[in-house]
Structure 1
Amino acid sequence: MSASSSLSRPLAPPQDVGASPTYDGTAPFPAEAPAPPRGTGDRLYVTVTAAIVVIPFLALCLAGWLLWGRLIGPLDVVLALVLYVITGLGVTIGFHRGLTHGGFRAVRPVRIALTVAGSMSFQGDVIGWVATHRRHHAFTDRPGDPHSPYRYGTHLRGQLRGLAHAHVGWLFRNDPTPAERYAPDLLADPDIRAVSRAFPALCALTLALPFLLGLAIGGTWVHAATALLWAGLVRIALLHHVTWSVNSLCHVIGRRPFRTRRHDRATNLWPLALLSFGESWHNLHHADPTSARHGVERGQIDPSAAVIRLLERLGWVRDVRWPTPDRIAARRS
């Protein structure tokens, strides 16, 4: 099946899956049943999550302190940039546009490589990431959305609390997303299951690589330590907060030129476009989730789409769902 033929089929009308009939879009989400007491496994989850969130952020603060009055080394910059691009594209192309939404089909080695790269972003195992994001699309900005900034209502205090929740607070909630319901296709894929199981080892690898490269290229333990700081922890923290900003800011601030489902407030936020590799053209993405390109208007930079185009020309991906003028026009507000 060609990409053009797959894109020419009319899409089914969006469904308000699971939307509460009493939710009006402005009130806080209905109260949930009290969470069961945390067991040892839950406490371990919270501890590990806190370490993943807090340690890179503390490293970012430490890096700022160390940078005061002195320059960062060129080796640190190059390593940080290269790893940021590799792991960031692993998330945006591999986890998001490929596995979550089926915007294209990749040959097996490329599919595995993208999944490994995304796992090295420290954002969770691939199956859990995809399941959570699919759930977000099923219940965007209404009860059931795991990270909506409108959970606590649209008044000022609720909005500020909601932004904090959407950015990072949701990670600490006892609110698991069942992969059996939201990602059964990935659970049935032995390659993806293997990469998912390897997530702890890939987290260690994403820190070991800059340390070892800093030591090998710089030749001293100081170079190794600064590479670990900048190209390891700071790079992870920056990518974390860019990704989380799409969850939070890109549902509150920005333009909405395209029509989305009821209550869905996804926006386009241009300042994040380059750092997020095109993910902050979020309004079009929610209007047409399977589109392989999110930045469809003139001047909208979308590095992820550019890489997908290159992979398509190399014959490494196929059945790419490129947006057509008719599809774009049909989704305009």
Structure 2
Amino acid sequence: MRDNRVLRGRHLHRLQRRHFILFDVLPFVGTLAALALLAVRPIGGMEIGLFAAMWLVTGLGLTVGYHRLFTHGAFTTTGWVSNLLIVMGSMAGRGPMISWAAMHRRHHELSDHDGDLHSPNLHGAGWRRRLHGFVHAQLTWMVEHDYPNVAHYVPDLIARRSWVNVNGYYYAWVLLGLAIPAVLGGLISASVWGVLTGFLWGGVVRMFVVEQTMSAINSLNHMLGSRPFQTRGDNSRNLGVMAWLAWGEGWHNNHHAFPYSAAFGLRWSEFDLGFLFIRALEAAGLAWNVKVPAPERITARMTAHPAEAAPDFGHG
């Protein structure tokens, strides 16, 4: 029986392969080129600063915008902030916001079960099959996959005309994310070399690192780490190191237990850069209705039987 929740077709698969080549393969090649150029001239504070700034901007666009706001409705913000978050997330080159949100909602619906687009746990036992699952979740699932029907998964998002309009300029925003560090590199250094290294380190290398970091949440965080919460049939796990590297995303078991929560780190010791940014928006009057589970609910989920702990996906 046909599953109307997903779309398949040669045209979609061609688009997926093209996106994979443009924003996964080419950034990898560009990263190798940037590393090779280190033999010609080492990088300095400018390149490191541009990399860090663009890593922060695009990473927050993904975790705060794409993930917590649009996919799960974890807080409310103004129109211009939400549009800016689409631009910031788009510059990461991880796909248009509406598509990303649809795929992530399907991931929560079917996490580590048949139909999950990027589970590492559906390829059998043994180290070879486990390695195959890791590579699939980290990278190769993006080459060709079922496309979630946005009319089914994200009707709330496609009903917002301004979001659809900004989302429609996805490729322009990706190019902007490459152009900004190139222009800044040229202006700061007053040289063509600065344009090149700004483009490479603030643009290409940053895109590659952000992509690999976000993909590691799909792979590593469904294979390794702690499970303080029982979740509905998935293998989501917490990895503190990934929380630091991925803007708070590494508290993945926490997130699967409370998908609606704006905070992925649920304890004072769980560093969550994305949530700190949301709190800063709230303090500035730019975010409200910030959803965080009550302490007693967190405690109850820790002791609940899995069958009694089905998550609220929180994307109404």
Superposed CA offset, 1:7-44 (max 9, x none): xxxxxxxxxxx9xxxxxxxxxxxxxxxx76x35x6334
Aligned to 1:22: none
CA deviation string 1:244-282 (max 9, x = no partner): 0001000001111111112x1100011111220100000
Instruction: Specify which of 60, 75, 79 is matched with residue 104 of structure 1.
Output: 75
Instruction: Pick one of 253, 274, 278 that aligns with 1:283.
Output: 253
Shift of 1:61: 1.9
Match of 2:231 among 256, 260, 266: 260
Alignment partners' CA distance in 2, 1:88 and 1:251: 20
Aligned residue among 95, 108, 115 for 1:144: 115
Q: Which position in structure 2 is the counterpart of 1:312?
A: 282
The one-letter code of the counterpart of 2:161 is: P
**SS of equivalent to 1:89:** helix
Kindly tell me: are residues 284 and 219 of structure 1, through their superposed partners in 2, closer, same or farther at Cα, counting changes over 3 Å? same
Instruction: After TM superposition, give the deviation of residue 91 of structure 1 in Å.
Output: 0.5
1:211 counterpart residue number: 182
8 A Cα contact 1:260 1:287, kept in partner: yes
Q: TM-score, normalised by structure 1?
A: 0.85
1:47-95 alpha-carbon deviations (Å, 9 max, x no partner): 2322210111112222222235853121111111111111100100011
Q: Which residue of 2 aligns with 1:243?
A: 214
The match for 2:143 is 172
Contact 1:267–1:282 (Cα < 8 Å) also in 2: yes
Displacement of 1:150 in angstroms is 1.2
Q: TM-score normalised to the size of structure 2? A: 0.90
Q: Whole-Å Cα distance in 2 between the matches of residues 70 and 218 of structure 1?
A: 14
- For 1:132 and 1:62, the matched residues in 2 are separated by 32
1:45 alignment counterpart: 16
Match of 2:169 in 1: 198
Q: Structure 1 vs Structure 2: percent identity of aligned residues?
A: 38
| Corresponding letter in the other structure for 1:273 | A
Would the aligned equivalents of 1:76 and 1:227 in 2 still touch at CA under 8 Å?
yes
Contact kept, 8 Å, 1:278 with 1:303, in 2: the verdict is yes
> Are 1:77 and 1:230, in contact at CA under 8 Å, matched by a contact in 2?
yes
Aligned position for 1:83: 54
3-state SS in 2 of match to 1:128? helix
- The residue aligned with 1:301 is 271
Of residues 193, 200, 207, the one that matches 1:222 is: 193
Q: Name 1:232's counterpart in structure 2.
A: 203
Distance 1:185 1:69 in 2: 51
User: What CA distance in whole angstroms lies between the structure 2 residues aligned with 1:210 and 1:69?
Assistant: 20
Q: CA–CA distance in 1 between the matches of 2:267 and 2:181?
A: 37
Q: CA deviation at 1:212?
A: 1.1
Question: Could you tell me whether the CA contact under 8 Å between 1:150 and 1:158 is conserved in 2?
Answer: no
> Quick one: which of 45, 54, 66 aligns to 2:37?
66
Q: What is the distance in 1 between the residues matched to 2:136 and 2:212? A: 13
Amino acid at match of 2:18: T
Structure 2 gap segments, 5+ residues each: 304-316
Give the distance between the partners of 2:164 and 2:241, measured in 1 at CA: 35
Counterpart of 1:328 in structure 2 is 298
Moved more, 95-104 or 44-53: 44-53
Whole-angstrom CA distance in 2 between matches of 1:112 and 1:95: 11
Hey, what's the Cα distance between the residues in 2 that align with 1:308 and 1:298?
16
Given that 1:87 and 1:120 are in contact with CA atoms closer than 8 Å, whether structure 2 keeps it comes out as yes
Matches for 1:8-19 after TM superposition, within 5 Å: none
- AA aligned opposite 2:281: L
Q: Which residue, out of 212, 235, 243, partners 1:273?
A: 243
Q: Please give the alpha-carbon distance, in whole angstroms, between the structure 2 residues aligned to 1:44 and 1:109.
A: 29
Measure the CA separation in 2 of the matches of 1:160 and 1:108. Answer: 43
Give the paired residue count.
297
What is the deviation of 1:218?
Answer: 1.1
**SS of 1:253's equivalent?**
coil
Structure 1 unmatched ranges of 5 or more: 1-17, 19-34
